[in-house]
A and B are shown apart, each in its own frame.
Chain A
Amino acid sequence: MKRLFTLNRHLTERLGFSLITLMAVLTVVPIIGTVIYILAQGGHAISWEFLSGFPHDGMRAGGILPAIIGTFYLTIGTAIFSVPLGIAAAIYLSEYAADNRWTRLIRISIINLAGIPSVVYGLFGLGLFVLFLRFGTSILAASLTLSIMTLPVIISTSEEALRAVPQSFRTVSISLGATRWQTIRRIVLKEALPGILTGVILGLERAAGETAPILFTGAAFFLPRLPHSPLDATMALPYHLFVISTQVPNMPIQIQYGTALVLLVFVLTMNVIATVIRSRARARRQW
């Protein structure tokens, strides 16, 4: 057997390469297929009325405006809390933290935050924000829950971007008399901005598509009006898709695919923007 193996090693290589290539193809084709399928199926449902109208007849007709606006609010709310906190934490890890036990503990915590199941975030949000702090089922509670979930993505990508800025930039700035914070704000952050932005958008993209964390913290089954304040519950695209595909009998298939399409476009747009920012920054980089 061993001998056969070595004799035909070029054949083995070809077989092995074909197998690996096939695996990559089988991984990628369903992704493209999924996107194209939803674009094709949902395309018919998209109309001005669908995008700008309220649902009626038990959500079996009309539009999905409240869900679109709701997801928009939740994404903004998540950004308000997670972006400053995440970038500050990344600055701490990249610019200030010494390599000691505490820093290691912070890193382990971040890794663990990234691994906690999304539904457990939902439970936590329910326990802390909805019940203990009495925010109720609200945009505020849901945004805070999503923020903590998004934090590890933003911290780790931002830290990577900050660390990629050459040490010499800092040395020169400090030697010219700038303080540490001035150096970070005017030199390091400026250079790392595209990388940070990519991380932020990818993090928010995940938050926008999540359902489980908002199930008990802020999502509403149906609202006849738009939310008025951060303390109102809200409809959201992912939760709405879940509701109309599992909870409502005799739901027209068109509306389901249309909702999936809008959610997908929302998320894909963020994904593409992030990818473009990253590749353009890479192309322009001079260090």
Chain B
Amino acid sequence: MEKTLNWREYIITRLIKASGYSAIIFVLLIFFFLLREGVPALAEVPLSALFSVRWYPIEGDNFGILPLLTGSLIVTLGAAIIAIPFGIGTAVYISEIAPRWMREILKPLVELLGGLPSVVLGFLGILVLAPFLRRFLDLPTGLTAFTGSLLLGGIAVPTVVSVAEDALDAVPRAYREGAWALGATRWQTIWRVTLPAARSGVLTAVMLGIGRAIGETMTVMMVTGNAPVLALSLSSLFSPVRTMTATIAAEMGEVSNGSTHYHVLFFIGMVLFLISLGVNIAASSVVFRAKKRAERILS
């Protein structure tokens, strides 16, 4: 009895440990397969052509990814401009201003927004938001970078809210009480004490929100018009653009495996992977540094 128990326990412990390490293995596997299929693009397309401004892969083998890169950037920038104030504002409202019952309603609602399938938002974007914006802003088409930014802002908001709210929640109550005791109003306390104290967490929230926006696929593919035009000025915000994610999603189904086009799409995936890796490592290192600082202060 004793013997079999130990033996079972040993196996189970090993299995659990292996599961724990699986996350590392998956990240490596993902990176490996992106490299395996994406790196050949560098041999097949000269670097100068890869980083040029024309993306017309079907006619004429033009694999310039710059328009896609700028397309992703401009849509994400627009989304960030929306998601940052609204996300942080909502987080401040939930954590500092709202009465308890309101908080109990708002938190699940914001979570719900995070759970809405992006394809549903894209669908409403096509049918409702794009026609409205076309008429309202008098544009030739409603399928623009701006339409994508609006919806993407909505998709990034729940991420920003939940991370920023956690950060605000973690600020010790004594900080607020101290400020109130000194005669500060609640607003002054929020603005000059609570928010600065939660700074690093709020910064993480912003970065993770941006990461979420840049990787979003279906919504942007459905509402941004998908024109591979170099977007360099603010006016491009109101014309169709095409993002990196949308390009992969739209074209991967139609390329033959192993072709140059196929490899270039994987190369774009590699770029996206590296961007998200950078954003996430930066975001988590901010948290890590902040934690160390807090430990220093407390000890």
Contacts and interface: CB of A to CB of B under 8 A. Distances in A.
A76 B222 CA distance: 28
B185 A13 contact: yes
Contacts of A9: 185, 187-188
A34 B283 CA distance: 31
Interface residues on A, range: 35 or more
A113 B110 contact: no
Contacts, number: 266
Given A115-B279, A209-B115, 14 more contacts: A17-B187, A20-B93, A21-B93, A24-B98, A34-B116, A92-B17, A106-B24, A112-B280, A117-B272, A120-B248, A120-B273, A212-B218, A212-B249, A268-B112
Chain A: interface secondary structure?
helix
B19 A128 contact: no
Contact of A132 (B33, B94, B249, B284): B33
Nearest to A245: B123
A235 interface: no
A108 B108 contact: no
Interface stretch (A52-60, A83-91, A166-174): A83-91
B89 A20 contact: yes
Nearest to A21: B93
Interface in B1-52: 5, 8-9, 12-13, 15-17, 19-24, 26-27, 29-30, 33-34, 36-37
Interface in B250-276: 252-253, 257, 265-266, 269, 272-273, 276
Nearest to A97: B20
A24 B97 CA distance: 11
A111 B124 contact: no
B190 to A, nearest CB: 8
B33 A124 contact: yes
A151 interface: yes
Given A37-B124, A113-B23, A128-B33, A202 B269 contact: no
B258 to A, nearest CB: 9
26 contacts: A17-B187, A21-B93, A23-B86, A23-B90, A23-B93, A85-B22, A92-B19, A92-B21, A106-B20, A106-B24, A109-B26, A113-B26, A123-B37, A132-B33, A148-B26, A180-B9, A181-B8, A181-B13, A209-B116, A209-B117, A239-B119, A242-B218, A245-B126, A260-B123, A263-B119, A264-B117
Contacts of B12: 181
A131 B258 CA distance: 11
Nearest to A242: B119
Contact of A151 (B23, B36, B211, B280): B23
Contact of A113 (B27, B108, B157): B27
B90 A123 contact: no
A188 interface: no
A153 B87 CA distance: 21
A228 interface: no
B245 A117 contact: yes
A106 B122 contact: no
A252 interface: no
B74 interface: no
Given A85-B19, A211-B118, A246-B222, A120 B272 contact: yes
A199 interface: no
B249 A215 contact: yes
A246 B217 contact: no
B113 interface: yes
A43 interface: no
A17 B272 CA distance: 39
Contacts of B266: 123, 127
Interface in B72-103: 85-87, 89-90, 92-94, 97-98
A191 interface: no
| Best-surrounded residue of A23, A26, A263 (most CB of chain B within 10 A) | A23
A108 B276 CA distance: 12
A216 B281 CA distance: 28
A31 interface: yes
B191 interface: yes
Contacts of A93: 20
Given A21-B97, A108-B281, A13 B215 contact: no
Interface in B203-223: 208, 211-212, 214-218, 222
A45 B84 CA distance: 37
B223 to A, nearest CB: 10
B20 A96 contact: yes
Interface in A141-196: 148, 151-152, 155, 179-181
A113 B26 CA distance: 8
B179 interface: no
Contacts of B127: 245, 253, 256
B197 interface: no
Contacts of B186: 13, 17
